[in-house]
Amino acid sequence: MRIAVYPGSFDPLTNGHIDVVERAVKLFDLLIVAISRNASKKPLFTVAERLDILQKVLRPFINVQVDSFEGLTVNYAKSKNAQAIIRGLRAVSDFENEFMMALINKKLTPGIETIFLTTRAEFSFISSSAIKEAAFFGGCVQELVPPYVIDKLFQKYHELKAAGQEGW
């Protein structure tokens, strides 16, 4: 069975992420979309909320599993018997950092390949931080994220504003 892990923060899940998923599922028998828990980052959504979003939005893909992990991606991929790690690239500026990580991962676990998938041009400018900022200020993010994510973003910001907190 060909297994790949697509790691990320997915805070929030964007149409660019989904574009990568749509193409990766054609290459592997199982694609594990895994939220990387990073204690140094302060995400908008909790891990449980992001898992919920991923499960609901990615439900149509029958060969996708949703999970979360902490630690090195290659260790997680190895624990799942994955042969590959999927990384999405939006622009040339993403490549340098991703390339360095791929080299480190290859050194740590030679049996796991990193596969880069570029997003379609119409998603190349989308970033989770830009989505959060636009949504926080009431901007239209309709073509950038799935409808379920829009609902969750505005629900979260409504809760944060009601509590007098900043959201992004």
152 catalytic residue (yes or no): no
90 catalytic residue (yes or no): yes
DSSP tag of 36: E
Sheet holding 30-37, edge to edge: 64-70, 30-37, 3-8, 84-89, 113-118
158 catalytic residue (yes or no): no
Catalytic residue among 90, 132, 152, 156: 90
Catalytic residue among 36, 50, 87, 128: 128
41 catalytic residue (yes or no): yes
Catalytic residue among 17, 87, 152, 156: 17
CA 147 – CA 82 distance, rounded (Å):
31
Q: How far lies 164's CA from each of 60, 69, 155, 157, in Å?
A: 37, 31, 14, 10
Catalytic residue among 26, 41, 42, 107: 41
Decide if 83 contacts 106 (C-beta within 8 A): no
In which residue are the tokens 């480190």 written? 104
Three-class secondary structure of residue 1 per DSSP: coil
Catalytic positions: 17, 41, 90, 128
